Amino acid sequence: MPYYEIYLTDTDKDGDLEVHKSDCRLTSGKIPFRTIGYHLNCQKAIEYVKTIYIGKTIDGCKICIPECHKR
């Protein structure tokens, strides 16, 4: 099961959150905004994040979880 982390996006609007796997090459060396632990897949990880940050725009990384990247 992959381990997921959340990062604040710097390219999108303020406060948008992006979900990554912990081994994503885009975020290597960066400090995560928050870690969210192990989830079965990215859909489950994003569902979980939506229960914490209600009303926020949440997207998946286009590199490490392209199947959950919407924008």
Q: Which residues bind Zn ion (CB under 5 A)?
A: 20, 24, 26, 61, 63-64
Residue 26 or 52: the one with the smaller Cβ distance to Zn ion is: 26
Which positions ≥6 away from 61 have C-beta within 8 Å? 18, 19, 20, 21, 24, 26, 27, 68, 69
Residue 54 or 67: the one with the smaller Cβ distance to Zn ion is: 67
Least separation, in Å, of the C-beta of 5 and Zn ion?
9
Least separation, in Å, of the C-beta of 62 and Zn ion?
8
Alpha helices in 1-71 (DSSP H): 42-52
